[in-house]
Amino acid sequence: VSVDPARPDYCGPTGRAMTEGRPQVCDDIEHDERMAPWRGRALAHGMRSNAAVRLRDAEGGDGTLAIYSGEKGFFTPDVVQLVEQLAADLERGLAVLAARGQIERQSAALRASEERWQFALEGADEGVWDWDIGSGRVYYSPRLETMLGYAPGEFRTDVSGWEQRLH
């Protein structure tokens, strides 16, 4: 299948659906000249009609959903509408998969960054105190507690624990 109109394998429903962006139907593979490049194989497998709908993924890639039937004239307007709905569902599924992949990549990058930060702190033999003002949570690194003479875990994880020790 080609998306180049100058090539003979462009003329079928799949290539046209891709380039024209609208559903394409072949009601009778045996007698439709657009199907000439694929007729022999399609008929050998018992296929008599087909429909094709363009797919687009979240990153702008294109594809085509092509469905075949062993029945001539199978792809009525109602069936084509169902195929379009299926294509839309597939596009949403592809978008979810792409988003999940992006989240996984970002999570892995964040974990790697946190590991590097932790190694740098350990290597520098420094302690860290961090206060999330929005939630009121405080983080103390084990090294900070040790530097100040406390046992790991002795500090509370709210700001009042820090305030009590500040002066």
How does pLDDT run across 120-161, given as a tens digit for each residue? 888 888 888 888 888 888 888 888 888 888 887 777 666 676
Residues 6+ apart with CB under 8 A from 162: 129, 131, 138, 140, 155
- Model pLDDT, residue 164: 73
Q: What is the mean pLDDT of residues 107-129?
A: 88
- Model pLDDT, residue 156: 65
Share of the chain above pLDDT 70, in %: 94
- Model pLDDT, residue 66: 94
Q: What is the mean pLDDT of residues 63-78?
A: 95
Neighbour tally for 15: CB within 10 Å: 22
Phi (first) and psi of residue 67, to 5 degrees: -125, 135
Which among 98, 99, 165, 101 is positioned nearest to 127, based on CA atoms?
165
- Model pLDDT, residue 154: 76
Structure tokens belonging to residue 108: 């892995």
Average model confidence (pLDDT) across the chain: 87
- Encode burial over 23-62: b for 16+ CB neighbours within 10 A, e otherwise: bbbbbebeebebbebbbeebeeeebbbbbbbbbeeeeeee
pTM comes to 0.64
Neighbour tally for 79: CB within 10 Å: 16
pLDDT band at 166 (very low <50, low <70, confident <90, very high): low
Q: Are strands 49-56 and 24-26 parallel, antiparallel or unpaired?
A: antiparallel
Per-residue pLDDT reduced to its tens digit, 74-105: 999 999 999 999 999 999 998 899 899 999 99
pLDDT: which is higher, 58 or 38:
38
Contact 48, 30 (CB under 8 A): yes
Contact 88, 80 (CB under 8 A): no
Inter-CA distances, 52 with 19, 32, 67, 102, 114, Å? 11, 15, 6, 29, 47
pLDDT: which is higher, 47 or 4:
47
